[in-house]
Amino acid sequence: MYSTQLIGATLALALLAPAGRDVRAAGSTADVVFEWNQILQDTVPGPQGVLTPRYFAMAHIAMFDAINTIDRQFEPYRVRLRQSGGGSPEAAAAQAAHDVLVVINPAATATYDAALARQLGKHPSFFVRRGAALGARVAKEILEWRRNDGWVVSPFPAYSEPLLPGGWQPTPPNNPVAAFTHLQNAVPMALLTATQYLPPPPPALTSERYATDLNEVRLIGRSDSATRTGDQTSIARLWNGVATPGTGTATNFLSIWNNIVRDVARERRLSPVETARAFVLVNVSVHDALQTAQASKFVYGLWRPVTAIQQADSDLNPATDPDSTWLPLLTTPPYPSYGGNMACIGASAARVLQLAFRTNDIPVTVTWRQSGGLPEVSHEFQGFWQVAEEQSESRIYGGIHYRFDQVAGQQIGRSAAEFVFANYMTPRSRWEH
């Protein structure tokens, strides 16, 4: 089981490294992992949307496997190498992250090259060079593993639903075609298939549950709602800025959870390899949960609230009424509704952190960096699940999801996180080190 009663990073490095080495990496192995995580946040293209977790997961898997090859505290995530004679874990992590990212995000190569050069130094020692060589080997295997994973396609395969009640239709204001239609057939990072934890079908249009949830979002999610509070409007807009970079914040949806990992790892004084593992647990759980939720959208093809409310006269449910002028607070994403992506992201991250630290009750602060010189906005929470709940609720406040979407998304997220935690990077016995 994952322990949070650990020696500090400095002592851990002293145990890992021979005396007199000249490592020019930033401070400690954990510091290098933190730095590359921040580089990811600063360089991963905002418009990638649903594809964003792929960058984070691949880079962090590479760093973990590189460090763990030297440390050998856990089973490897993917790459199983023997490294006799040691090597710098800092250099291994830096080289592994660099070599993955220059391939999958070549537009930021100059940034990645500069970071690596600074971390390795102008005249790296043999110990550093040996670590860097290990990192390069790990990165090569990670890239080969994901080379034909089906995640990156252009253009997206065409998708449409018959024009029947309940079927997805393009949504205002611009009525774009469906995006990210291909992920049901892409290869997950950890799960066996993208539909391993597919939720049950959404409620029937004629059901009481459907009417209840539709009427809830109709009231609270309307663009000019008199029911929604000022705080709820702020929550919807902040989390939408995370989901849609450029709409008011400079914080993407993975930054929130990666910053939580960073803060808790520092506060709990995780060792370097445990820090690397924590980042992998969160980013892989989010990656595969989000893929499952996106696959679910196209398996069920459910219309979005804006369509459902405007066309409620066709749903045969006596408890719903049409409103042809209804529009949501937020712009609806260009894909079907069920299950909710934001809900599954939060649930997967919160659940895997709860498992890793054996508790939910670790206070955290979420901070959004706003664009345009506006001040930062911070929310404080008593635990991981409280963050996930606000993330989920934000989409109902914004008028773009039904509550049953979010329940399904959270179910997906919890299941994916539990699978990742149980099956990947499990602790080795001391006899295996």
Query: What residue spans of 228-340 are helical by DSSP H?
Result: 230-243, 253-267, 272-300, 305-310
Does the pLDDT value for residue 47 go beyond 70? no
Same domain? 395 vs 275: yes
The residue among 150, 166, 201 that closes a domain is 150
Report residue 306's pLDDT band, with 50, 70 and 90 as the boundaries.
very high
Same domain? 228 vs 81: no
Amino acid identity, position 2: Y
| pLDDT at residue number 123 | 78
Contact assessment for residue 151 and residue 286, using Cβ atoms and an 8 Å cutoff: no
For residue 88, count CB atoms less than 10 angstroms from its CB and return exposed for 0-12, middle for 13-18, buried for 19 or more. buried
Does the pLDDT value for residue 15 go beyond 60? no
Whose CA is closest to 199, among 421, 409, 389? Answer: 409
Please write the tens of the pLDDT for every residue from 152-188.
999 999 998 889 999 999 999 999 999 999 999 999 9
Tell me the pLDDT of the chain averaged across its residues. Answer: 90
Cβ count within 10 A of residue 216: 15
| pLDDT at residue number 394 | 97
Report residue 24's pLDDT band, with 50, 70 and 90 as the boundaries.
very low
Share of the chain above pLDDT 70, in %: 89
Mean pLDDT of 30-48: 90
Same domain? 128 vs 202: no
User: Distance between CA 102 and CA 108 in Å, rounded?
Assistant: 7
Same domain? 27 vs 116: yes
| pLDDT at residue number 8 | 30
In a domain, 137, yes or no: yes
The dihedral through the CA atoms of 390, 395, 398, 401 has a sign that is negative
User: Distance between CA 340 and CA 408 in Å, rounded?
Assistant: 7
Same domain? 199 vs 100: no
User: Distance between CA 283 and CA 59 in Å, rounded?
Assistant: 10
Contact assessment for residue 9 and residue 28, using Cβ atoms and an 8 Å cutoff: yes
Contact assessment for residue 227 and residue 327, using Cβ atoms and an 8 Å cutoff: no
Cβ count within 10 A of residue 107: 9
The dihedral through the CA atoms of 119, 122, 125, 129 has a sign that is positive
For residue 99, count CB atoms less than 10 angstroms from its CB and return exposed for 0-12, middle for 13-18, buried for 19 or more. buried
In a domain, 397, yes or no: yes
Element (H, E) at 412: helix 403-423
Same domain? 241 vs 368: yes
In a domain, 169, yes or no: no
Mean pLDDT of 88-107: 97
| pLDDT at residue number 26 | 37
Same domain? 123 vs 194: no
| pLDDT at residue number 330 | 96
Same domain? 421 vs 286: yes
In a domain, 48, yes or no: yes
Whose CA is closest to 320, among 221, 162, 213, 224? Answer: 213
Domain total for the chain?
2
The DSSP result for 311-348, as a single string, is: TGGGS--TT----TT--BSSPPPSS--SS-HHHHHHHH
User: Distance between CA 293 and CA 107 in Å, rounded?
Assistant: 29
CATH number, residue 215: 1.10.606.20
Contact assessment for residue 228 and residue 235, using Cβ atoms and an 8 Å cutoff: no
What does the block give as tokens for 53? 């977790």
- Looking up tokens 């790459």 gives 79
For residue 314, count CB atoms less than 10 angstroms from its CB and return exposed for 0-12, middle for 13-18, buried for 19 or more. middle
What pTM did the predictor assign?
Answer: 0.91
Whose CA is closest to 368, among 187, 179, 241? Answer: 241
What does the block give as tokens for 47? 């418009």
Report residue 319's pLDDT band, with 50, 70 and 90 as the boundaries.
very high
| pLDDT at residue number 361 | 96
Same domain? 127 vs 203: no
Same domain? 115 vs 209: no
Residues in contact with 285: Cβ distance below 8 Å, sequence separation at least 6, in sequence order: 190, 348, 349, 351, 352, 413, 416, 417, 420, 421
Same domain? 193 vs 311: yes
Q: Which residue range(s) make up the domain with 19?
A: 14-150
In a domain, 159, yes or no: no
Same domain? 189 vs 140: no
In a domain, 4, yes or no: no
Most confident of 33-47, 302-316, 417-431: 302-316
Mean pLDDT of 20-30: 49
| pLDDT at residue number 17 | 33
Q: Please give the backbone phi and psi of residue 346, each rounded to the nearest 5 degrees, phi first.
A: -65, -45
